[in-house]
């Protein structure tokens, strides 16, 4: 399904998720996608305990064979040249979510989204935000109703300590991209996410919740698997 597809992959600064997300970039490449990497200003400039800009940019280039786009002029041709079949923003932070819902295009990631939507082509969001059910809830609602915007299924990752926090199931990213390319939202949209998302090469380990019934791995409390 992804063989030969031109996939823009934009990373935002949910730094603790970057390592996991890069594993799914590798999966898309392994499935034959032609990936164009894009990074936010924070990913390109801010070092944290999770990694440095040089590490993230170096890994992206090694995986995709392309130098990541970091500036607005670099991504502007996505619109007029129709460069991408689908754009993924993962992890999509609360700031990016809010700005996208409000029509901002003041960064490489947001300009890429604007350019893609201009062409009425799919944008896939894999959210990671502490206020998805708080101040960002109206922005989430707006994008859920936006044409050509699709979500990697998500849920509350820590309802006891962070009840407003939402995180996508990153392991469902490839299937969400495939569905978006067909013009449909992968269902169910609301799932119980793993506290530690499944790595691209194997099952989830640890976390508050790691599947459905014993040995099942399904995303529902009663053990049902994704359809």
> In this structure, what are the phi and psi dihedrals at residue 90, rounded to the nearest 5 degrees?
-155, 125
SS3 for 63? helix
CB of 218 closer than 8 Å to CB of 193? no
Question: Going by C-beta distance under 8 Å and a sequence separation of 6 or more, which residues neighbour residue 38?
Answer: 8, 9, 10, 11, 68, 69, 70, 75, 108, 109, 112
**What pLDDT shows up at residue 1?**
83
Residue 73's pLDDT is what? Answer: 97
Q: Which two tokens stand for residue 107?
A: 């960064």
H helix intervals, 102-136:
108-118
Question: Tens digit of pLDDT per residue, the chain (227 long)?
Answer: 899 999 999 999 999 999 999 999 999 999 999 999 999 999 999 999 999 999 999 999 999 999 999 999 999 999 999 999 999 999 999 999 999 999 999 999 999 999 999 999 999 999 999 999 999 999 999 999 999 999 999 999 999 999 999 999 999 999 999 999 999 999 999 998 764 445 565 433 333 333 332 233 344 333 445 44
Q: Is the dihedral of CA 92, 96, 100, 101 positive or negative?
A: positive
pLDDT at position 200 is: 63
Q: What is the pLDDT of residue 199?
A: 52
| Architecture in CATH for domain 6-181 | 3-Layer(aba) Sandwich (3.40)
Give me the phi and psi of 155, to 5 degrees please. -170, 180
Q: Are strands 86-92 and 154-156 parallel, antiparallel or unpaired?
A: unpaired
For 130-142, b/e burial (b = at least 16 CB within 10 A) is bbbbeebeebbee
Contact assessment for residue 72 and residue 108, using Cβ atoms and an 8 Å cutoff: yes
What are the Cα distances from residue 73, in Å, to 33, 63, 79, 140? Answer: 24, 23, 12, 28
User: What is the pairing mode between strands 34-39 and 6-11?
Assistant: parallel
Contact partners, residue 71, CB within 8 Å, separation at least 6: 108
Helix (H) or strand (E) holding 151: strand 149-151
| pLDDT reported for residue 85 | 98
Q: What is the pLDDT of residue 204?
A: 39
Residue 186: name the closest of 224, 154, 145 by CA.
154
Query: Which two structure tokens, joined as six digits, stand for 219?
Result: 């995303």
């Amino acid at each position: 399904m992804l063989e030969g597809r031109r996939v823009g992959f934009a990373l935002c600064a949910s730094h603790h998720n970057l390592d996991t997300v890069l594993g799914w970039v590798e999966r898309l490449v392994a499935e034959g996608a032609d990936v164009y990497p894009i990074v936010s200003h924070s990913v390109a400039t801010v070092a944290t305990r999770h990694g440095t800009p040089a590490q993230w940019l170096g890994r992206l280039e090694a995986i995709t064979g392309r130098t990541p786009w970091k500036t607005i002029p670099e991504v502007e041709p996505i619109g007029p040249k129709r460069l991408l079949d689908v754009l993924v923003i993962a992890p999509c932070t609360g700031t990016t979510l809010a700005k996208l819902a409000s029509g901002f295009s003041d960064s490489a990631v947001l300009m890429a989204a604007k350019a893609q939507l201009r062409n009425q082509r799919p944008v896939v969001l894999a959210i990671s935000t502490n206020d998805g059910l708080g101040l960002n809830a109206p922005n989430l609602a707006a994008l859920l109703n936006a044409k050509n915007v699709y979500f990697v299924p998500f849920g509350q990752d820590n309802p006891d300590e962070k009840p407003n926090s939402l995180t996508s199931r990153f392991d469902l990213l490839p299937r969400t991209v495939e569905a978006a390319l067909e013009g449909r939202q992968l269902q169910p949209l609301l799932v119980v996410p793993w506290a530690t998302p499944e790595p691209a090469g194997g099952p989830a380990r640890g976390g508050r919740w790691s599947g459905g019934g014993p040995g099942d791995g399904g995303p529902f409390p009663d053990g049902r698997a994704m359809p």
